[in-house]
């Protein structure tokens, strides 16, 4: 049974692309331009039982920087 779900709801595709992840695998999605990329990574902390997210800029195609933008617990306000 999947724990995480991702979808691409706005793109040049005519259909929505989706992906699923489990508590053990997590889920990472990447959106990129020629200047770099942004990733969102979801994981499950087995000790606390919480789902964790990290949003960061990452290099793509030799351009961009690696920088965490924000991180926290899914469903909890920052």
How many domains does the chain contain in total?
A: 1
pLDDT in tens, 56-73: 999 999 999 999 999 999
2-7: long-range pairs with CB below 8 Å, 24+: 3/44, 3/51, 4/42, 4/51
Residue 32 lies in a domain: yes
Domain that holds residue 49: 4-73
pLDDT in tens, 3-55: 999 999 999 998 999 999 999 999 999 999 999 999 999 999 999 999 999 99
14-22: long-range pairs with CB below 8 Å, 24+: none
Residue 52 lies in a domain: yes
Q: How far, in Å, are 17, 23, 42, 75 from residue 66 at the CA level?
A: 26, 25, 17, 25
Residue 78 lies in a domain: no
């Amino acid at each position: 049974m999947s724990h995480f779900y991702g979808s691409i709801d706005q793109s040049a595709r005519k259909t929505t692309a989706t992906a699923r992840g489990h508590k053990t695998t997590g889920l990472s999605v990447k959106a990129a331009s020629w200047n770099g990329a942004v990733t969102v990574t979801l994981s499950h902390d087995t000790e606390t039982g919480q789902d964790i997210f990290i949003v960061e800029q990452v290099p793509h195609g030799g351009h961009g920087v690696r920088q965490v933008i924000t991180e926290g617990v899914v469903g909890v306000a920052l």
